[in-house]
A = this chain, B = another copy of it.
Amino acid sequence: MFIKDIKVLDCTIRDGGLMNKWQFSKELVKAVYDADVAAGIDVMEIGYISSEDQFPRGEYGPWKFCAEDDLREIVGDNNTDMKLSVMADIGRIKYDDIRPKSESVVDLFRVACYDYQIDKAIELAHHVMDKGYDATINLMAVSKVNDRALDQVLADVAASRVGTFYLVDSFGSLYSEDMHSLVEKYQKALPGKTIGFHGHNNTQLAFANTIECLIKGVRMVDATMLGLGRGAGNCPLELLLSFLKNPKYHSLPVIKCIQDYIKPLQKDLSWGYFIPYMITGAQNDHPRSAMAWMAGENRDDYVAYYESVVTNKEV
């Protein structure tokens, strides 16, 4: 599949950091950055922008905060064709902490929000745009948003200055027909704007759903190396690059980085396909109960987990 105007965003560090509180070594973050540049990745998302009032340094690594000095230690002035993005959660960032774009190596802010936070998200997005950055809004958990509420969100975004709006399969519960239906709805409501997609791999459909989005006209898609991410993880970047036929992409640098840095993380971090994550995906539920189960002593007792979430739900 060749798509001229596609943008691939690698959020290995930002999303993978949910697994280890962003305690990646600088060597690893630099290796991911170098691999992304060599692979022709369009945007690397290096972490969250968060207020240091809310999260203690030490417990959280530097990619929870993305202080300018920490960023520059990795990317210098980022004299490459690749853009850098950070993610901001509503309520966890102070406007005054955001410096003007002229003083930052960051290019793009992605604002993640739930449907009831859309007004705050648009305000934050406009704020960073006024400071010179690009912005996207990523609406999480759309599989639980009712149709009227979603129409309201889309109308608000349509009336905003934000150029890119993300479809996010937070629970890894959607499949192709959902993708087609949601992308068509987003496109109809947001003429002239770019639609993005961020999937999760609970039911092994993150890559497949990404393909379906691309077929329907989504033009900005997220992935992580070896699917690194919380719980079941994300769309694997190496699969996405191997699938895309654009000459600008090269999968070998990513494969090398996986071999040298990401695969070895599996000694300490457990992400990917496990039955509890599959169960929450199939049930269209947040994976938090599955993550808690997988962190406990009975992690291999799938039957007890199933009974605790499915049977309880049906009562």
Binding site for B on A (CB under 8 A): 175-177, 201, 203-209, 211-212, 215, 236, 238-239, 242-243, 251-252, 255-256, 258-259, 263, 272-273, 275, 278-279, 282, 300-303, 306, 310
| B215 A208 Cβ-Cβ under 8 A | no
Minimum Cβ distance to chain B for residue A231 (Å) = 15
Tell which of B208, B243, B251 touches A208, judged by Cβ atoms closer than 8 Å: B208
Task: Provide the residues of chain B in CB contact with A201, threshold 8 Å.
Answer: 204
Tell me whether B275 and A177 are in contact (CB under 8 A): no
Q: A177-B215, A242-B282 are in contact. Are A259 and B204 (CB under 8 A)?
A: no
Copies per complex of this chain: 2
| CB pairs A–B below 8 angstroms (20 shown) | A176-B176, A176-B208, A176-B211, A176-B215, A177-B215, A204-B206, A204-B208, A207-B208, A236-B278, A239-B278, A239-B282, A242-B279, A252-B306, A252-B310, A255-B275, A258-B302, A259-B275, A259-B300, A259-B303, A263-B300
Chain B residues within 8 Å of A204, by CB: 201, 204, 206-208, 236, 239
Query: CB within 8 A of A238: which of B177, B252, B275?
Result: B275
Q: Could you say which of B175, B239, B275, B306 contacts A203, with CB atoms under 8 Å apart?
A: B239
Chain B nearest Cβ from A179, distance in angstroms: 10
**Docked complex Cα distance between A286 and B215 (Å):** 27
Residues of B within 8 A of A302 (CB): 255-256, 258-259
Contact indicator B205/A207 (Cβ below 8 Å): yes
Task: Write the nearest CB–CB distance from A1 to chain B, whole angstroms.
Answer: 8
Given A201-B204, A242-B282, 19 other A-B contacts at CB below 8 A? A175-B208, A175-B243, A176-B211, A176-B215, A203-B243, A204-B204, A205-B208, A207-B208, A208-B208, A236-B273, A242-B278, A242-B279, A252-B310, A255-B275, A256-B302, A256-B303, A259-B301, A263-B300, A272-B273
> Do residues B176 and A212 form an inter-chain contact, with CB atoms below 8 A?
yes
A171 shortest CB reach to chain B, Å: 13
